[in-house]
């Protein structure tokens, strides 16, 4: 049983549940008085007056904000108390897009996407579209949460799904601190279940990647070094194998923003992000090759803009009038949270970008 640490910002009626309030915080204070440059000015210094999409490669679809966990730093503000779930009608509209997209990767996320009652139907239908890389972002513990989810590894295998799972650390203490008591043990068991049917094994085509994000107000270290440490520890301690580790920076929005403010780390963290700004990362930020679709069919430049309710700056704002060519001709909406994707080696849902 996972012991939940907290409730979502929405459930708590926190002012940070409002995206406008978050954007206000990100534009005021140190950025307003000029102590730190705004993201727009920073990239302009490198010759980017606007940020524009390149070729669309990844279609990321959020199936809902409901989750069996309430992780301390969740940028979605997901949890069991979130009721936003994609309907089968919206899924049907998404399927039309999936069948006709030029993107080579389909990336299903949440919340815990598996909690959507139509999840299996949707995966079944979507897998027929022949997308090269079909990702499901699974939090692992869902596989052990309830008997009805125990066969998920087999289900994933039958649909050749690429599983990407969060694992903030290879030690119990650090993982449970961020994701809730009991998460580590359940995650280990789920990883063993996935390994048992071939996921993550060396040479296996059943892809299993892990996502690392820092447990506190600091940036991720070198992705390759972390991957080496994770592989060694998980193999020695639990006989677990996986393919790659993606190191992701925590973006200062939603519950992580709440944590930064409450722990009085906000200004230092934003300063660290700005100081670690890497112009090369700007060239490859994920919003230039990804679009994000919300549970109710709205379109965003990325998952973070979705959570800040910053819909794309395009005539095509909703999947009901989806047009990939038109959509690709737009300026990407930016704010100070974007520094999270350009710090150090850069950060995206697929890890570093440089």
Partner 1 sequence: MANSYYDPADLRKFGDITEWSEELGTKFFDYYGKVFEEGALTAREKSLIALAVAHTEQCPYCIDAYTKDTLQRGITKEQMMEAIHVGAAIKSGATLVHGVMMMNKVNKLDG
Sequence-separated (6 or more) residues with CB below 8 Å from residue 122: 63, 88, 91, 94, 95, 108, 116
Min. distance of Cβ 214 from partner 1 in angstroms? 7
Q: Which residues between 46 and 75 bind partner 1 (CB under 8 A)?
A: none
User: Edge to edge, what strands does the sheet with 208-212 contain?
Assistant: 245-247, 208-212, 162-166, 133-137, 105-109, 58-62, 290-293, 299-300
Min. distance of Cβ 235 from partner 1 in angstroms? 16
Rounded to whole angstroms, how far apart are CA atoms 289 and 319?
A: 18
Are the CB atoms for 127 and 100 separated by under 8 Å?
no
Rounded to whole angstroms, how far apart are CA atoms 196 and 190?
A: 10
Binding of partner 1 by 169 (CB under 8 A): yes
Q: Pattern of binders to partner 1 over 19-38, x per CB under 8 A?
A: --------------------
Min. distance of Cβ 109 from partner 1 in angstroms? 24
Q: Which is nearer to partner 1, 30 or 129 (CB)?
A: 30
Q: Which is nearer to partner 1, 86 or 274 (CB)?
A: 274
* β partners of residue 59: 106, 291
Min. distance of Cβ 216 from partner 1 in angstroms? 7
Q: Which is nearer to partner 1, 158 or 225 (CB)?
A: 225
Give the residue among 51, 40, 1, 94 at the shortest CA–CA distance from 298.
Answer: 94
Q: Pattern of binders to partner 1 over 190-219, x per CB under 8 A?
A: ----------------------x-x-x-xx
**Paired tokens of 10:** 């929405």
Q: Which is nearer to partner 1, 31 or 119 (CB)?
A: 31
Q: Pattern of binders to partner 1 over 86-125, x per CB under 8 A?
A: ----------------------------------------
Distance of CA 286 to the CA centre of its chain: 11
Q: Which of 28, 158, 160, 171 binds partner 1 (CB under 8 A)?
A: 171
Q: Which of 61, 108, 143, 226 binds partner 1 (CB under 8 A)?
A: 226
Min. distance of Cβ 170 from partner 1 in angstroms? 8
Sequence-separated (6 or more) residues with CB below 8 Å from residue 285: 51, 338, 341, 342, 346, 348, 353
Give the residue among 349, 332, 139, 167 at the shortest CA–CA distance from 251.
Answer: 349
Q: Pattern of binders to partner 1 over 118-157, x per CB under 8 A?
A: ----------------------------------------
CB-based burial label for 221 (10 Å; 0-12, 13-18, 19+): middle
Rounded to whole angstroms, how far apart are CA atoms 111 and 85?
A: 9
Q: Which of 41, 275, 313, 329 binds partner 1 (CB under 8 A)?
A: 275
Q: Which of 100, 158, 160, 222 binds partner 1 (CB under 8 A)?
A: 222
Min. distance of Cβ 267 from partner 1 in angstroms? 11
Min. distance of Cβ 42 from partner 1 in angstroms? 17
Rounded to whole angstroms, how far apart are CA atoms 161 and 174?
A: 28
**Paired tokens of 171:** 């030690």
Q: Which is nearer to partner 1, 53 or 220 (CB)?
A: 220
Residues that bind partner 1 (CB under 8 A): 169-171, 173-174, 212, 214, 216, 218-222, 225-226, 229-230, 271, 275
């Amino acid at each position: 049983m996972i012991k939940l640490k907290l409730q979502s910002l929405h459930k708590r009626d926190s002012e940070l549940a409002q995206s406008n309030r978050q954007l206000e915080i990100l534009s005021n204070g140190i950025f307003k008085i000029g102590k730190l440059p705004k993201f727009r000015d920073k990239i302009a210094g490198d010759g980017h007056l606007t940020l524009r999409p390149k070729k669309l490669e990844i279609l990321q679809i959020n199936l809902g904000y409901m989750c069996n966990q309430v992780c301390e730093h969740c940028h979605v503000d997901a949890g069991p108390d979130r009721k936003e779930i994609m309907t089968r009608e919206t899924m049907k509209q998404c399927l039309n897009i999936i069948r006709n997209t030029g993107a080579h990767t389909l990336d299903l996320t949440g919340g815990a996407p598996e909690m959507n009652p139509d999840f299996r139907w949707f995966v079944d239908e979507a897998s027929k579209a022949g997308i090269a890389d079909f990702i499901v972002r699974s939090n692992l513990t869902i596989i052990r949460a309830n008997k009805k989810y125990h066969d998920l590894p087999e289900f994933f295998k039958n649909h050749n799904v690429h599983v990407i799972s969060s694992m903030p650390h290879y030690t119990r203490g650090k993982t449970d601190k961020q994701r809730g008591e009991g998460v580590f043990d359940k995650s280990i068991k789920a990883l063993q279940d996935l390994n048992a049917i071939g996921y993550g094994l060396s040479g296996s085509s059943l892809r299993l990647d892990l996502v690392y994000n820092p447990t506190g107000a600091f940036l991720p270290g070198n992705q390759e070094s972390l991957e080496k440490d994770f592989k060694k520890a998980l193999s020695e301690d639990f006989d677990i194998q996986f393919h790659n580790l993606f190191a992701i920076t925590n973006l200062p929005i939603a519950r992580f923003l709440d944590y930064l403010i409450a722990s009085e780390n906000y200004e230092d963290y934003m300063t660290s992000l700005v100081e670690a700004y890497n112009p090369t990362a700007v060239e490859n930020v994920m919003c230039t090759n990804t679009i994000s679709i919300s549970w109710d069919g709205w379109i965003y430049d990325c998952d973070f803009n979705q959570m800040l309710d910053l819909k794309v700056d395009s005539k095509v704002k909703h999947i009901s009038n989806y047009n990939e060519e038109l959509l690709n001709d737009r300026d990407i909406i930016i704010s100070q949270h974007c520094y999270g994707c350009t710090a150090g080696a850069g950060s995206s849902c697929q890890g570093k970008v440089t």
